[in-house]
Amino acid sequence: MINVEQLELILEALPDPAFILSRTGKYVGVFGGRDTRYYHDGTGLIGLYISDVIKPEKANWFLEQIATALESRKLLVTEYELSNRDVKGLDDDGPKDPIWFEGRVQALSFRVDDEDVVLWVASNILERHLLESRLRELGDTDQLTGLFNRRKLENDLVRLHESSARHAVPTSVFIFDLDNFKIINDTQGHHAGDEIIRTVADVCRSAFRQTDTVCRYGGDEFVVALPNTGPEQAAQFAERLHHALRRALGRFSAEGAVVTASIGVTTMLPADRSYEDALKRADRALYDAKSQGKDRVVLV
């Protein structure tokens, strides 16, 4: 049988820290955390409250998790990040890469100082989180351009259509492709074609906002989803993009044909049953731009 002294030694040897926390967020006990690659000594927390250490928004989140675990009496597993921005008394700028943890929270069957308590085991999962983020990024990214791919676009368009339908948030969509691209590709080879595609991607990175979804849809076709953007602003964006592409692509030509861009633009409508209705409308606008002589913007 393990005696009390041996049990204390076992708890102290745990690589991940284990906290006994009260319903009000008091640090009742701290054990383990002996993997010094990831953790600092937490014994100084005993007697303090989470609100003494963590800024209000994140402290309230911790209290919510504790309450959920106490009410369910089941193991609660949650992932969260902590940075200098969350901890009181530190520089608000925070580290470039916040640390990610997995918290395992279990209600305990006893009380301390007449308060319900939980066991909270915190595991540093930064390496795993970075790997998962990188895998998601690779799964959502076009290899040649570094822009988003079709899968990412479709996921974002579903979300944006729901936001447009439920909350009347305006969302616009561009479809554009490159005029005379095939001539360059056929006469000068795929390396020249790839250079053109990468040039378009560079223009898009400069032209659009971080909130916009810019996607290489396939071949020389691109789609852009612009949240919080109505028809008038979308028209302005499209004209700026058109001029920027004309400047950047003017150096690519073959057999007297210069590479330009034709752009179809639309805005999601209340009558749209799905994002596909808007996408088809933008595609028709692109067809109209082609049929009207190419190298232009058409809005529908």
pLDDT in tens, 177-226: 999 999 988 888 889 999 999 999 999 999 999 999 999 998 999 999 99
Mean pLDDT of 237-252: 94
The answer to whether domain 4-131 and domain 141-299 are alike in fold is: no
On the question of pLDDT at 60 being above 70, the answer is yes
pLDDT band at 74 (very low <50, low <70, confident <90, very high): very high
pLDDT of residue 87: 86
Mean pLDDT of 162-174: 92
On the question of pLDDT at 79 being above 80, the answer is yes
Mean pLDDT of 171-180: 96
86, 212, 220, 295: which is the annotated catalytic residue? 220
Q: Which fold does the domain 141-299 belong to in CATH?
A: Alpha-Beta Plaits (3.30.70)
Instruction: Provide the residue ranges of all domains of the chain, joining segments of one domain with +.
Output: 4-131, 141-299
Nearest C-alpha neighbor of 101 from the set 49, 39, 22: 39
**Helix 150-167 with 275-291: angle, nearest 10 deg:** 110
pLDDT digits (tens, 9 = 90+) for 263-296: 999 999 999 999 999 999 999 999 999 999 999 9
- Starting at the earlier edge strand, list the strands of the sheet with 17-22: 27-32, 17-22, 115-124, 99-112, 76-82
Catalytic residue list contains 220 = yes
pLDDT of residue 138: 66
pLDDT of residue 227: 95
Least confident residue range of 189-193, 233-237, 253-257: 253-257
Query: Under CATH, which number does the domain 4-131 receive?
Result: 3.30.450.20
Mean pLDDT of 105-131: 92
pLDDT of residue 62: 96
pTM over 0.75: no
pLDDT digits (tens, 9 = 90+) for 134-166: 766 667 789 899 999 998 999 999 999 999 988
On the question of pLDDT at 92 being above 60, the answer is no
